[in-house]
Amino acid sequence: MRPENQSSMFKFLLLGLPIPPEQQGVFFALFLGMYLTTVLGNLLILLLIRLDSRLHTPVYFFLSHLAFSDISFSSVTIPKMLMNMQTQCQSITYAGCISQVYFFIFFGCLDSFLLAVMAYDRYVAVCHPLHYTTIMRDELCVTLVAGCWFASCAQALLHTFLVDRLKSPGNQSSVTEFLLLGLFERSEQQPLLFGVFLAMYLVTMLGNLLIILAVHSDPRLHTPMYFFLANLSLADACFSSTTVPKMLVNIQMHSQTISYGECLAQMHLFMTFGALDDFLLGVMAYDRYVAICRPLHYTTLMNLFVCVRLLAACWVLTNFPALLHTLLMAGLSFCAGNTIHHFFCDVVPLLQLSCSDTSTNQVALYTMCSVILTGPLSLIILSYVHIISTILRVTSASGRQKAFSTCGSHLTVVFLFYGTAIGVYLYPPSSHSGGEDRLAAVFYTVVTPMLNPFIYSLRNKEMKMALSRLFGIHTLSSQGL
């Protein structure tokens, strides 16, 4: 590792508030009391809204998210300040500082967006009271909250990358861009690849968009199963969009370059939406387990607030490992080699290019992938063990066939997605070649998101009827196709 490629700043000093030393104890107690009041007060709000069914309305739905955001926002800064005051230490590591910047911007923006949404909710309630239940319906509330989370994440990610790039030129890695070799290096195959992947990408986007529109427009599909399916379609569309468009541009422009910043951004978004796919598949398996094994309690166990909390947990759990790997990757040096034997910036080929010590990155990668991949997969397997045992006890042959049909599409997606992803990330890098990695990556980044709309719509009568109503084809609905 060359010294000139390392940042000379490993930690910062937080001077804190201009408080005389003799008053440190008083201010420590004051801020500790304020922080505990903030956390306990907002936790009480969350519990009351969760336990009292009369508070399951849009205004309290938004208030519960604001309470959670306020707890997180205070927890980003106050505990570190209290710890520094208590230990008489003012230092914070570079990674800790960048992480604090990310989460401070994230939850600060989330607070701002939620307050704006709550103002809109009050406007509708006061100015259009007769149309309130129609305008502020459940799906709109969920969409508004999801939009707040997504916009906050985008803002925080953008500013974090910009801050991370603020290093003196002498401290930058000597590699400012990478070369993506793509799937195949032979030039005569590039036009064929462009046509094939462009068609697959367009089918992916169109198919997943149709599912989102069908679920949104048909009130009969406003159920937990289709709520998670619509979010899976959104995740699939974003997942493919992180890799395929850049590959198509490079093929069309006869260019293989991607800048350092774009590479890290692509890696972060790829890991975010890939992990989101993982968790959503696990949540959908749990939903099918409750529907089949505990049908009498389904509406209670899978109510709107449970579904929203499961979705929010998926987003939170996917952002953390993606941010961690991005920060760890940003701390590495790339001294000479800049050729990535892949069609996008993936973690494994980037680690192989680094001239730094990547042992921490390797441990973090294996640990996170083990949790992200095997955790939801274990939940899926456990759920389907109970589901299959319940289905086999059904006396009606038509009932068994309907249950297996409902679950079969989900299992097809699971096998396609997890089989290839586990082979790439949980096996040692030396056990397979770059070509095998690239072909496996095509399955879980391009093929699976493209097949999901067909698997979930062509084998689902309700979805086919919703699509026919979306296009105004009433004859298909009347014939039950």
At 40 the pLDDT is: 94
CB 357 within 8 A of CB 1: yes
Report how far apart, in Å, the C-alpha atoms of 441 and of each of 181, 244, 346, 427, 481 are. Answer: 14, 11, 10, 14, 35
The predicted structure's pLDDT at residue 2: 42
Amino acid identity, position 470: L
Structure confidence at residue 122 as a pLDDT band (50, 70, 90): very high
Q: CB of 352 within 8 A of CB of 429?
A: yes
Nearest to 322 by CA among 280, 362, 264, 370: 264
Under 8 Å CB-to-CB from 157, ≥6 apart: which residues?
Answer: 102, 265, 268
Q: How far is CA 202 from CA 172, 207, 231, in A?
A: 38, 8, 19
Instruction: Give the burial class of 50: count Cβ atoms within 10 A of its Cβ; 0-12 exposed, 13-18 middle, 19 or more buried.
Output: middle
Question: How many Å apart are CA 107 and CA 41, to the nearest integer?
Answer: 18
Last residue of a domain, one of 171, 194, 222: 171
Residue 44: its pLDDT value, please? 94
- The confidence band for 171, taking pLDDT boundaries of 50, 70 and 90, is very low
CATH of residue 467: 1.20.1070.10
Residues 112 and 7 in one domain: yes
Q: Are 284 and 229 in contact (CB under 8 A)?
A: yes
Of all helices (H) and strands (E), which one includes residue 174?
A: none
> What pLDDT digit, counting tens, does each position of 90-107 carry?
777 777 787 888 888 989
Q: Which whole-number Å values give the CA distances from 12 to 91, 98, 219, in the listed order? A: 6, 11, 54
Express each pLDDT in 231-270 by its tens digit.
Answer: 999 999 999 999 999 888 888 888 888 888 788 888 988 9
DSSP assignment string, 18-60? ---GGGHHHHHHHHHHHHHHHHHHHHHHHHHHHH-GGG-SHHH
- 179 in the same domain as 140: no
Q: What is the span of the domain harbouring residue 76?
A: 1-171
Please give the Cα distance from 124 to 127 (Å, whole number). Answer: 5
Residue 134, pLDDT > 80, answer yes
What is the per-residue burial (b if ≥16 Cβ within 10 Å, else e) of 257-293? ebebeebbbbbbbbbbbbbbbbbbbbbbbbbbbbbbe
Q: Are residues 331 and 402 in the same domain?
A: yes
Give residue-wise pLDDT tens across range 366-398.
888 888 888 888 888 888 888 888 777 766 666
Look at residue 242 in the predicted model and tell me its pLDDT: 92
Say yes or no: 219 and 151 in one domain.
Answer: no
Q: At residue 475, does pLDDT exceed 50?
A: no
C-alpha span between 407 and 411 (Å, rounded):
6
**How many residues make up the chain in this entry?**
481
CA torsion sign, 188 to 189 to 191 to 192? positive
Q: What is the mean pLDDT of residues 431-446?
A: 71
Q: What is the pLDDT of residues 263-272, one digit of tens each?
A: 888 898 898 8
> Any residues with CB less than 8 A from the CB of 57 and at least 6 apart, and which?
none
Query: Are 95 and 240 within one domain?
Result: no
- 3-state secondary structure at position 254: coil
Partners of 340 in beta bridges: 180
Residues 420, 478 within the same domain: yes
Cβ contact 129:70 at 8 Å: no
The average confidence (pLDDT) of the chain is 80
Same domain, 206 and 166: no
Single-letter residue type at 337: G
Assess whether 398 and 260 both reside in one domain.
Answer: yes
* Residue with the two structure tokens 């009347």: 478
pLDDT tens-digit map of 293-314 = 888 888 888 888 788 888 888 8
Average pLDDT over residues 415-419: 77
277 and 424 belong to one structural domain: yes
pLDDT of residue 166: 66
DSSP string, 39-50: HHHHHHHHHHHH
Q: Select from 137, 171, 205 the last residue of a domain.
A: 171
Q: Is 11 in the same domain as 118?
A: yes
Strands 257-259 and 339-340: unpaired
Note whether 127 and 157 are same-domain residues: yes
d(CA 142, CA 215): 13
SS3 465: helix
Q: What is the DSSP string of 398-420?
A: HHHHHHHHHHHHHHHHHHHHHHH
How many domains in the chain?
Answer: 2
C-alpha span between 467 and 288 (Å, rounded): 22
Q: Where among 147, 171, 195 does a domain terminate? A: 171
68 and 127 assigned to the same domain? yes
Are 428 and 419 in contact by the 8 Å Cβ rule? The answer is: no
